[in-house]
Amino acid sequence: MIIYPTIELLNGSCVSLFRGRLEEPHIWHVNPLEKTRSFADAGADWITITDFDAMNGSDQNSGLIEEIILQAGASVQLGGGFRSIGQITDWIERGAGRIVVGTLAVIAPDVVKQAAKMYPDQIVISVDVFQGSVMSDGWRNPSAITPQSFVQTFEKDPIAAIIVTDIDANLEEADDSLALVTELAGIAKAPVIARGLSRSLDDLARLKYVPHISGAIISRALFDQSIDLDEAVALAAEAPEETAEFI
């Protein structure tokens, strides 16, 4: 399993959002570039960057993200505000290893399919689910699309991965928080990355036993030190222990 330490950027700062609210960010007083370097030093091969300003059409973080891509020492998976193939091409040419699209996949799936053909294994689909529906525009707008049908829309395309966020579980910390990601991992053709389900090493240990889960995105837990990245990377690298079959 691959650990994806994540930095969420707003106004050039590392932040965490409460229930997706841009107007109520928790600001972490750390240098974003230094933080990404520390992630790479801890053994992370990939770092996810989410640019909240780009979701609102601003490119104010572009210079910082370019620095991270060039200097972090790990591959970058970049998401936030992608609405065209031109934007995707621009950031791939700037060195982003993968591009994460969510809203674009909801409103223009054919554009995402075209991008996947142009850049095989570099396009990641973000599936953000709340109360059984796929959300768009930064969790603000529900669609009429079920997560199951949404995943199946791209089953024949060369998608690098699918990020699944169960927003219900992310907000309520339900005991059955693995239910949705487990179901989607069972039907997805691309590797599935779980987001919002890793608040402790115990959570990561549970994820390792979910079939077809290829990775976990971790953000807040690394900043508030609920998870030590060195320990998380080591845990993810361990081969899962065999489990008994139940008859």
Give the active site residue among 8, 51, 53, 157. 8
- Is residue 8 annotated as part of the catalytic site, yes or no? yes
Cβ proximity of 196 and 216 under 8 Å: no
Active-site choice (51, 128, 168, 203): 128
User: Can you tell me the distance from the alpha carbon of 122 to that of 15, in angstroms, rounded to the nearest whole number?
Assistant: 25
- The verdict on whether 228 is a catalytic residue reads no
- Rg of the chain in Å (alpha carbons): 17
Residues with a known catalytic role: 8, 128
